[in-house]
Structure 1
Amino acid sequence: MLAATHPAPAAVVTALALVFALGVGLDAGRTVLVTAAVAAGQLSVGWSNDWLDAARDRHVGRPDKPTVTGDVTPRLLRTGAFVALGACVVLSFATGLVPGLLHLAAVASAWSYNARLKATALSWLPYAVSFGLLPAFVVAAAGDGRVVAGWTVGAAALLGVGAHLANVLPDLEDDDATGVRGLPHRLGRRAASVLAPVVLAAGSVVILLGPPGAPAGPSAVLAGGAVVLAVAAGAVGLLRPRSRAPFLLSLAVAAVCVAQLVLAADAVALPG
């Protein structure tokens, strides 16, 4: 069950929510609620993904999927997904009506990817919506009238889209074999390998320039590193699209973006 949660991205998203909560200055109780709500939402998204993809994963023999190895059944994942979703609803609304609706919209968007949109040209949209709504949820959960900074929503949305483009690179052929043709599949491996780091680097630049005042030194250094990594990833993706290097370098750019967001967490909210 743990492996079926997609633990790495789930942990990153949950940790990012915690960092935002601390940066915005939520009290301990609200910080716990926000983090728990996001964790429950991530569990529901991960389990629903492997439940809905069970037949496809078996068809291509994915050895990394618990439903293929027989360690867990799709029925158990379905049950877990809906139990986690129920907990997510309760925890989200415990932070307030508006933040609750924002977070549930983000989770619903992620479920829409699992259920249908992953196989369409709009596969990027749930990532943009869900990631963009994350900081909006955290700021609204403060309940003090502050609003989320626009640059934060834009940067988080770019991070989500870039992560989507990069995340599917290792599975393009398996996805094609089971009829899943999202935007990266339609673009092709070479174009997706180049576009993923470019979108992520754009997010890094937004994080650098978005907060008020002069760009912070550490963020500038990270943004410079992100651009260098993106150029390297794009070049390798253009010349050797079947290499794993574009995927790994894109992950490195995404990690830089997350680090920048952590550094700028105290600037994600504006006075109402």
Structure 2
Amino acid sequence: MGTYEEPTACRTTASWTVRVGGLAGACHPGPVVAVTALMAALALTTGQGAARCALTTAAVVTGQLSVGWCNDAFDARRDIATGRRGKPVVDGTVGVTQVWVAAYAALALCVPLSFGCGLRAGVAHLAGVAAAWAYDLRLKSTVWSWAPYAVGFAALPAFVTLGLPGQPWPAWWLVTAGALLGVGAHLGDVLPDIRGDLATGVRGWPQRLGPDGARLLLPVPLVTASAVLALGPAGPPGRWGVAALAVAGLVAVAGTALGRRRARAAFAAAVAVAVVDVALLLLRGTGIT
């Protein structure tokens, strides 16, 4: 009796399914979804119409996808050499060339979508995307690794406000808080992997600080961002602003203390403070220009 052989069509379908799943995993789906959802919510609360909000969201998601794929494609050689788990390229579910093609395709779509929101809005958004690509390709291993995060996070809310009727510039406190959140996101994102990064020759700003230095510094930009969001706009902060600032401070301090034994605790605290900051930002709504 002969053995059963899977039909070619079934193998092809399975292969494409695996590759699509690999591409989805290689784009860093968590940050892509989080940033896109935040920008969509911000566009809605600031008064962008349905069509413009959809265009803004499409531009943001393609930009984030291009950055995530660029990151995994560029790091593929080092990830494979170190056998880093959880990476689709390392697992063989998708090829490096395919990830590069996806990155450039997403970037090509991002450009017209960004300029579709207006010239100044497009320039602001693409400046942030370019900063993120610069991080992936070069700045990740330098003392300037924090700068692309600061530029990229500051550019996102500017992209939203410049896409509004009249193309208003964002308020100073909005850009400042975005940049601070970016620096905090960089510290929190890198913190759990610092020792592994140092072993593979990645010496960005957090790696140079070391695990303890990065952990102790992590609350500073995040809580400062909370303070800027609560106190920066004209008028009193209100009870919600004061409460959010207090919660952010307590969570950040607790995360720093617990992170001495578990780096993931500090990272979780950073995410919690970022959520508080996002809530503050969305509460401001139309007052961000």
Inter-partner Cα distance in structure 2 for 1:145 and 1:258: 22
The answer for the alignment partner of 1:189 in structure 2 is 211
Q: What CA deviation, in whole Å up to 9, does each residue of 1:13-33 have, x standing for no partner?
A: 111211221122111111111
Q: 1:267 aligned to 2:284?
A: no
State the 1:59 CA deviation.
2.0
Matches within 5 A, 1:121-270: 121-237=143-259, 240=260, 243-269=263-289
Do structure 1's residue 18 and structure 2's residue 44 form an aligned pair? no
Question: Aligned runs of 1:60-99 on 2, under 5 Å?
Answer: 60-99=82-121
Instruction: Say if 1:264 and 1:111 are closer, same or farther in 2 by CA, change over 3 A.
Output: same
Please state how far the C-alpha of 1:93 moved relative to its aligned partner: 0.9
Three-state SS of the structure 2 residue aligned to 1:59 is helix
- Please provide the CA RMSD for this pair: 1.3
Q: Are the aligned partners of 1:60 and 1:177 in contact in 2 as well (CA < 8 Å)?
A: no
Q: Please identify, of 211-220 and 171-180, the stretch whose mean Cα deviation from structure 2 is larger.
A: 211-220
Q: Which amino acid aligns with 2:278?
A: V
1:116 aligns with 2:107: no
How far 1:171 moved relative to its partner?
Answer: 1.1
* TM-aligned CA deviation for residue 243 of structure 1: 4.0
Is residue 2:80 matched to residue 1:58? Answer: yes
CA distance in 2, matches of 1:150, 1:105: 18
CA distance in 2, matches of 1:218, 1:61: 47
Residue 46 of structure 1: CA displacement?
0.4
Unpaired segments of 5 or more residues in structure 1?
A: none
- Amino acid across the alignment from 1:10: V
Identity among equivalent positions (%) equals: 49
Hey, what's the Cα distance between the residues in 1 that align with 2:66 and 2:263? 32
Hey, what's the Cα distance between the residues in 1 that align with 2:167 and 2:58? Answer: 22
Q: Which has the larger radius of gyration?
A: 2
Q: Aligned residues, how many?
A: 267
| Length-normalised TM-score, structure 1 | 0.94
Residue 107 of structure 2 aligns to a residue whose secondary structure is: helix
- Unaligned runs of 5+ residues in structure 2 are 1-22
Partner of 2:9: none
In 2, Cα distance between the equivalents of 1:15 and 1:45?
Answer: 16
